[in-house]
Structure formats: structure tokens, C-alpha cells
Amino acid sequence: MISENVHRILSELPPGVKLEAAAKERSVAEIEEALGAGIEIIGENYVQEAAGKFKTIGKKAAWHLIGHLQKNKVKAAVEIFDTIETLDSLALATVLDRECKKRNKVMPVLIEVNSAAEPQKSGLRLEEVEGFLEEVSAFTALSPRGLMTLGPWRENPEELRPYFRKVKYLFDKVGRTLGQKGEWKVLSMGMSVSFRVAIEEGANLVRVGTAIFGERKSKY
Ligand SMILES: *Cc1c(COP(=O)(O)O)cnc(C)c1O
């Protein structure tokens, strides 16, 4: 079922849009099946959970962190992840930059945007992102590549469209400011129920769990 799902979703993605398998709670066997069907990016929410799977799967895919990163997990995260999609504070950027420098590594990062300014969610508010990026430019071991957003929870994905649109607008604005400097090119938006709408609004990386692997046991 997993490989059929991956094939079906891949076949409907427009050129230039990448599919990331959001793999929280999924076993190594399930992830391996997805990789066999053409998945090249694994998204994990928790460093510890990813570390266990990484031991077996290794570098067969790119690993992206899509959950909140605690400062005390940065060391382990730097060993596993190829991209941190959830950079959301200067304090985290400071620790991440330091740990990457120790390993002579430059880490691609996405800035997580709290596009509906929900108090319980992590991520920067839209209006904070440009100032934040200026500060992040001092961290030479971090390479900002774009934005990531979850958006508010809505049953009807059409209701997410305005939030995706705002993030895309900001993404383009930053891209124009950076011009040829930097490698600003990733817009990570959309999940199982919303990836089609997100792509229509400009996403080029979609994070899909349920539509690949089936329902999860617990609700996140
Ligand atoms: C779980 C998760 C997804 C995928 O959610 P589905 O609804 O299962 O597709 C995407 N992004 C993040 C940050 C997640 O935690």
C-alpha cells in the first residue's frame, strides 16, 4: 500500500515539487518501503526517534527535522539531519551554528513561520522573519534556504489557502532582497489533506505522512 501511495502522489506532483515522507511513528520497514518507491526525503519530528531509525537507514535518504528542536538535542540533531526545517529562535541559531562549526558543517535551515500567529505554536510571526534573517546572516555555519509553515488546523484545506499565500508572498519578498546571494529556494508547506492547495499557492516541498503510510495510532 505504501509504495502505491508514493507512486500515486509522485505522479501527480508538478515538476519542481518534492515529496517528503513525514515519518513520525513509522517503522524502519515502512520507511524503507517508501524509499523503495521513490521517496528521497524523510521528515522526522523528534531527534531521538530519528536517531534510532538513522542507525539502520543511514544516508539512503536526506533527513529533515520538521519538529521543534530543543537546544539540548542540537548536538545529536547535527549528526543526523541534512536540513533543519524548524529554525525559530536566535537562541537555537546560536547553538546550532556553534555545533555545526565544530563539525565543519554548514547546515541548510528553513525558518519556521507561525502563519496564523497562534500563541501555542512555535515559529516566527510573518513580520519577524526579515529581521531574524538579518541576524542569522551572522551565523556562517547556517545556510537559510527558505520557509516552512504548518498553518492552523482546519478540516477544509481551502481555509489554509490565505495562510499559504501570505507565506509565499514573504518567501518571494525575501528572495528578491537576497537576489543572487544565498540559496533561498525552498518553500515547505502542505500535508496530506492540504498539499494540493499548498502547491497551488507555491509550495515546492510537501510533507506528507498519512496519505503515504495510512492513519497514525496517536494524534499529534
Ligand atoms: C505529521 C506532520 C506532517 C504530515 O502530516 P500528515 O497529516 O500525516 O500528512 C507534516 N508536517 C509536520 C511538521 C508534521 O508533524
> What's the pLDDT tens digit per position in 179-198?
877 799 999 999 999 999 99
Name the band, by pLDDT with cuts 50, 70 and 90, for residue 111. very high
The pLDDT of residue 123: 97
In this structure, the number of other CB atoms found within 10 A of the CB of residue 199 comes to 21
- 24 CB within 6 A, ligand 1: yes
- Taking CA atoms, 13 is separated from 28, 111, 151, 179, 196, in Å, by 25, 24, 21, 27, 9
Name 109's bridge partners.
84, 144
Nearest CA to ligand 1 atom 6: 209
In this prediction, residues 100-127 reach a mean pLDDT of 97
How do residues 119-154 score in pLDDT, each as one tens digit?
Answer: 999 999 999 999 999 999 999 999 999 999 999 999
In this prediction, residues 48-58 reach a mean pLDDT of 98
- Taking CA atoms, 6 is separated from 18, 36, 131, 134, 217, in Å, by 12, 9, 38, 38, 20
The pLDDT of residue 158: 97
In this prediction, residues 214-220 reach a mean pLDDT of 75
For residue 124, what is its C-alpha cell?
516566527
How do residues 134-143 score in pLDDT, each as one tens digit?
Answer: 999 999 999 9
| Cα 125 to Cα 105: distance, rounded to the nearest angstrom | 28
- 45 CB within 6 A, ligand 1: yes
C-alpha dihedral sign at 119, 149, 81, 22: positive
Name the band, by pLDDT with cuts 50, 70 and 90, for residue 220. low
- 19 CB within 6 A, ligand 1: no
Between the CA of 191 and the centroid of ligand 1 the distance, in Å, is 6
- 220 CB within 6 A, ligand 1: yes
H or E element at residue 206: strand 205-208
Position 219 pLDDT exceeds 70: no
Position 217 pLDDT exceeds 80: no
Residue 169 half-sphere exposure, CB side, CA atoms within 13 Å? Answer: 9
Q: What percent of the chain has pLDDT over 70?
A: 99
